Each structure stands twice: as C-alpha cells, then as structure tokens.
Amino acid sequence: MLVTGGAGYIGSVVTQRLAARGHEVVVVDDLSTGYRDNVPSDVEFHQLSIHKVDRVLTPGAGFDGVLHLAAKAQVAESVARPDLYWNTNVAGSLALLSAVRAAGTPRLIVSSTCSIYADAGPAPLTEDNVVQPASPYAASKLMVDMLLAAEAKAFGLAAVSLRYANAAGAVGGLGERHLPESHLIPMLLQVAGGQRRRLIIHGTDYPTRDGTCVRDYIHVDDLASAHLLALQAAEPRRHAIYNLGSGDGYSNAEIIEAVRVVTGRTVPVSDGQRRDGDAVATIVSNERARRELGWMPSHTELYGIVRDAWQFYLARLGTKGYHRGGLE
C-alpha cells in the first residue's frame, strides 16, 4: 500500500494503522510539513515531491491501493499564494492519477475537506449539500474530487474522497506539529505550555450558545480507521464521497475551558474581531459513512481528545523544529 503524505499528521497515523494490520506500506512525502520520525523505521520511505511519485508507483511495483494525503492545507496561505495550492494539490494529484493509471493500481483513497461546502449554519453537512469553496485551499480539494469522478468513470478506478471535519487529538507519539500552528487546540496548548503568551478568539458575538464559533472535531485515530474501511469498500468505476464528522460540535469557548481543565493551567485569551469567511457553525453528518462503511467515531468526548493532544504536546515540548518561544 502506498501512502502519500505519510509523514504528516493524519498520514502518519494512517501509515501506523495499515502497518499494524499487516499491510506492506510504502510512504512518499517531501517533508515540507511532515517529519521523518513520524514514519516507522521498518516502513519504506521516499522523500519525493508528489509530482515525482511515478518513481515509486511504477507498473511493476504491485501496489493494490494508494492513500493520498499529500497536500498543502493552510487556508490563509492559500488566499495569499493560491498558485502553491494549484501546483501541489491539483497538479500534484494529476501526476498521481497518471501514475496510478500507468501502474494499473485499482484503488485510490483521497483526503478531502468539508470546507468545500456552503455555510449551512447549525444543520449537519451532508454529501448532498451545496458546494461553495470559500478559499483556494477548499477549491483545490473540490477540483481533485472532480478529477476523481471523471477518472473513475473513464478508466474504472475505485475512488473514494473522505471529507473531514476538524482533525484533533493524538495517537502515541503522533500528533499535530504544524509550523506555523494555525489549529485551535494545539495553539491553546502552546498557551498552556508557555510558548504562546495568549490567544485571540476571533468573534464572541455569534448567534451560538456562548457567542463563539462552533466546530465539529474528529479524533485522528477515527480518521485513520475511516481510511482503512474506505479501502475495503472502494468499488471499480465509482467515486464515493463520505463526510467524516461527529454530527455535533463544540464552541471555541468550550474548547478553551477543556484545555484549562485538562492542563490545569491558565490559558489567557482575548476577544478579537470576526474574520471574513468564518462560518458560525460547522457540523458534519456521518450518516452515509455509518451506513456504507460501518464507520462511527469512537473518540467523541472533548476532554479525551484534548488530553491526548496535551500528552503529545508535553512529550514534544522543547523538541527541535517544534518549540518556539514567545509566540503571540
């Protein structure tokens, strides 16, 4: 099994789960955002751009599936530099599809995002919701899904897109290590750990239960499980789409309180203005994934998700390439 982006946050957990199930796994990652030590020493690793994946995914390599998690995934960066997202996420996926076709690889599972949907308010997002990407990042992911649909129809590929809610938590020594960090839970943990002085909460006057935005969080271990189930369910000439969420959500204020309780530390925050493009609430249905894949998230308790992330943070505190002091 080939995993692109297998040295990244979600990809490393997917790689771990595949290896534990007895799959022979090969990882391709350019290490632009991933870490070599995320990949087990007994897993074959190639530091390559996704554009050069055909050096590994060859007609004689015998891969029976590809899990494609190599992508750029920072919304703000995508607005400032959309060209990077067309090049990596779209052109890179085209290069992968070409290699998949040439090698005769039958199955392709792709990491996507629920941010491609139009804002539906508090109603859970389903796969039938209107798509309306609000950023070049989301648009690039929608383009990849369109490519998969055409590829499946034309060439018989068994393709699956997994559209995530917000990934969170950690599994053992595998967790979030983004530089710069832009996700709420790890940023709050940086505040609790003294790396960041405070965190600005953008918007406290939303029409929610406490005035802050509400988001759906899925434990990274549950996301990894969905990838393995999608491999089993993939069907030739079909592009299947599954939303992966809990069907519920937590507000920013609830996340802050959970971090304070779990860490036992003060977490200074300050109120800021709303940001353009931020949805009031994003809740993601898992009904189709439950019905067709047999998938249900098992790590749904907020304090447990935060506790896993905090344990990972403490283990990594001071590690070269992760610790940065005095962030605002």
CA distance linking residue 39 with residue 290, whole number of Å? 29
CA distance linking residue 26 with residue 309, whole number of Å? 27
CA distance linking residue 124 with residue 184, whole number of Å? 21
Length of the chain as a residue count? 328
Question: Which residue carries 């406290």 as its tokens?
Answer: 204
Closest-CA residue to 127 (of 249, 242, 247, 282):
242
Question: Which residue carries 């297998």 as its tokens?
Answer: 6
Closest-CA residue to 248 (of 205, 274, 217, 276):
217
Compute how many other C-beta atoms are within 10 angstroms of the C-beta atom of residue 132.
12
**Backbone CA torsion sign across 90, 229, 107, 117:** negative
At 243, which amino acid appears?
N
CA distance linking residue 218 with residue 25, whole number of Å? 24
Question: Which residue carries 């607005």 as its tokens?
Answer: 79
Are 116 and 138 in contact by the 8 Å Cβ rule? The answer is yes
Are 28 and 53 in contact by the 8 Å Cβ rule? The answer is yes
Compute how many other C-beta atoms are within 10 angstroms of the C-beta atom of residue 56.
18
**What Rg do the C-alpha atoms of the chain give, in angstroms?**
19
CA distance linking residue 168 with residue 219, whole number of Å? 5
Catalytic residue among 85, 137, 217, 313: 137
CA distance linking residue 252 with residue 213, whole number of Å? 6
**Would you call 137 a catalytic residue per the annotation?**
yes
**Backbone CA torsion sign across 84, 85, 89, 95:** negative
Active site residues: 137
